[in-house]
């Protein structure tokens, strides 16, 4: 095989995408992306919902579709695209591991749509969406809270404080205890069977020396 024949093979063995076909593929990609968008919105457990990140998942899916269409349309372009993408480095830290799952999910669905395997794309996006929504709604066995008690110096009766807390919690562990001449602060990590019982706040406030009581919900690696 001559050099001309090899080059001809690279440029002629390609898939042509017309405007109508391209639009259909992108619209299917948008539909799948909106399912991912809705799933992230429903299952989001963050205090501050990041709408920009959610929309970036949809755009990432569409960009993946475009890249795969470019690669499949021409072998020569695919080789150049591989070289171009190999030098790209993304250094944005993803703090929540759950966000990483959505990123890879969007990329995988983009590959399905770009290969025009619509049945696989819609089946998998619906299945994974249901799994994520159900898993986010299943309550845990224990509810974890951070209890912050502040008072005036050493005037807090700590033994009485723990006795008042025991009937409301399954377990308790002191994380931090700070005391000086003017004020005192104690932070507990507590577990309860049910939701936060506001009656315990009144009980703890009745302890001599306690000036304030704060309950903070602990969700995985975040507190809010």
Residue from 205, 169, 202, 160 nearest 188 by CA: 169
Q: Residues 5-9: contacts with CB within 8 Å, 24+ apart? A: 9/75
Domains along the sequence of the chain with CATH: 3-137 (no CATH), 143-223 (3.30.70.1150)
Which two structure tokens, joined as six digits, stand for 177?
């205890």
Average pLDDT, rounded, for the chain:
76
Residue 66 gets the label, from left (phi > 0), alpha (psi -120 to 50) or beta, of alpha
Share above pLDDT 70 across residues of the chain, in percent, rounded to a whole number: 71
Report, as an integer, the average pLDDT of 203-220.
77
Buried b (16+ CB within 10 A) or exposed e, 30-65: bebbebbbebbeebbeeeeeeeebbeebbebbbebb
Higher pLDDT residue, 89 or 42? 42
Report, as an integer, the average pLDDT of 207-214.
83
Q: Chain-centre distance of CA 180, in angstroms?
A: 40
Does the structure show a pLDDT above 70 at 160? yes
With bands split at pLDDT 50, 70 and 90, how would you rate the model's confidence at 35? very high
Torsions phi, psi for 190 (to 5 deg): -125, 155
Higher pLDDT residue, 207 or 70? 207
Which two structure tokens, joined as six digits, stand for 159?
């033994």
Torsions phi, psi for 140 (to 5 deg): -80, 165
Residue 79 to residue 76: CA distance in whole angstroms: 5
Secondary structure of residue 181 in the 3-state scheme: coil
Interval 56-100: pLDDT, tens: 889 888 888 877 777 776 665 565 556 555 655 666 666 666 777
Q: Chain-centre distance of CA 131, in angstroms?
A: 14
The pLDDT value recorded for residue 75 is 60
Residue 16 to residue 73: CA distance in whole angstroms: 6
Interval 124-144: pLDDT, tens: 899 989 888 887 776 666 677
Does the structure show a pLDDT above 60 at 220? no
Higher pLDDT residue, 11 or 81? 81
DSSP state letters, 136-156: HHSPPSSEEEEEEEEESGGGS
Residue from 180, 194, 195, 188 nearest 213 by CA: 188
Share above pLDDT 90 across residues of the chain, in percent, rounded to a whole number: 4
Q: Chain-centre distance of CA 186, in angstroms?
A: 31
């Amino acid at each position: 095989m001559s050099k001309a024949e090899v080059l001809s093979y690279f440029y002629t063995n390609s898939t042509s995408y017309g405007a109508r076909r391209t639009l259909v593929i992108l619209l299917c990609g948008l539909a799948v992306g909106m399912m991912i968008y809705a799933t992230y919105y429903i299952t989001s457990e963050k205090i501050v919902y990041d709408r920009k990140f959610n929309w970036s998942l949809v755009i990432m899916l569409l960009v993946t579709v475009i890249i795969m269409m470019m690669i499949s349309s021409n072998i020569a372009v695919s080789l150049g695209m591989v070289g171009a993408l190999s030098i790209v480095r993304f250094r944005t830290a993803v703090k929540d591991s759950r966000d990483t799952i959505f990123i890879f999910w969007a990329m995988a669905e983009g590959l399905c749509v770009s290969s025009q395997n619509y049945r696989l794309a819609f089946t998998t996006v619906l299945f994974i969406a249901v799994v994520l929504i159900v898993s986010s709604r299943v309550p845990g066995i224990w509810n974890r809270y951070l209890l912050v008690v502040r008072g005036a110096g050493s005037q807090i009766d700590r033994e009485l404080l723990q006795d008042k807390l025991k009937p409301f919690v399954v377990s308790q562990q002191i994380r931090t205890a700070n005391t000086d001449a003017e004020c005192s602060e104690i932070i507990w990590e507590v577990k309860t069977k049910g939701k936060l019982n506001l009656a315990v706040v009144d009980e703890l406030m009745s302890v001599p020396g306690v000036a304030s009581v704060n309950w903070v919900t602990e969700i995985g690696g975040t507190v809010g």
